[in-house]
Amino acid sequence: MSQNTVAAKRYARALFEVAAQQQKGLEVEEELRAVVSAIEGDSDIQKFISTPNIPQSVKMNVISQALAGKVSQPVLNTIELLLDRGRTEMFAELLNSYVKIQGASLGMADATVFSTYPLSDQEKEQVASEFGQLANQNIRVTNVVDESLLGGLKVVIGDKLYDGTLAGKLERLEKSFNRRA
């Protein structure tokens, strides 16, 4: 585990504790997701944040003004703290850690579902229901379209992989034949 991952977990835990005290865990998650998405999705913002010639105070002022009134104080404080300490490369890891901590507190788990086409809301609910029973948790589904799959679904929940793809089934069938031979 990298140092950034360990540090991101510490920052995420602290942010979660503050959010939980204010009973705003999900709101903070949504705000953090929006901020990280904006930063990660805009190369100009990334260049601005990572440019060493721009003083930290200027970066902090610009980011604070841009986020003021749009995010809660705990999220703003966390972003400012990461900027101040030069840890801007760990925004995505902070979000991932926060989501895991938040999900665990609610008895939820996140599932990444790989399919050959975008799943409908009904299909996502069905996957969440079936795998929720299997994992004994409430499941939040994120669908990723992977056109390299021949068919079926591949579901990742935490560190567990459930491979229901056609290629996975064929591979398991081949292995069973090889064991008998």
Residue 103, pLDDT > 60, answer yes
Alpha-carbon span 20 to 17, nearest angstrom: 5
- Measure Cα distances from 143 to 37, 65, 128 in Å: 17, 34, 11
CA nearest to 162, candidates 132, 122, 138: 132
- For the entire predicted model, the pTM comes to 0.69
Q: Are residues 9 and 86 in the same domain?
A: yes
Calpha distance 90→99 (Å, rounded): 14
Task: For residues 106 and 102, give the distance between their C-alpha atoms in angstroms, rounded to a whole number.
Answer: 6
Same domain (yes/no): 99, 138: no
Which amino acid does the sequence have at 99? V
Instruction: Give the total number of structural domains in the chain.
Output: 2
Span 96-123, mean pLDDT?
A: 88
Is residue 69 domain-shared with residue 129, that is, in the same domain?
A: no
Please write the tens of the pLDDT for every residue from 56-89. Answer: 888 888 888 888 888 899 999 999 898 888 888 8
Going by the DSSP 8-state scheme, the letter that residue 165 receives in this structure is S
Report whether pLDDT(13) > 90.
yes
Query: Are residues 129 and 88 part of one domain?
Result: no
Boundary-marking domain end, from 46, 72, 103: 103
Q: What is the CATH number of the domain that holds 129?
A: 3.40.30
The CATH number covering residue 95 comes to 1.10.520.20
Q: Which of 68, 103, 138 is the last residue of a domain?
A: 103
The whole domain housing 85 covers 3-103
Give yes or no for a contact between 151 and 167, defined as CB atoms under 8 angstroms apart.
Answer: no
Distance CA 22, CA 11 (A): 17
Q: Are residues 57 and 94 in the same domain?
A: yes
pLDDT reading at 118 higher than 90: yes
| Residue 16: both structure tokens together | 């979660």
Dihedral sign from CA coordinates of 175, 127, 146, 155: negative
pLDDT at 2: 66
Q: Both tokens of residue 63?
A: 């980011």
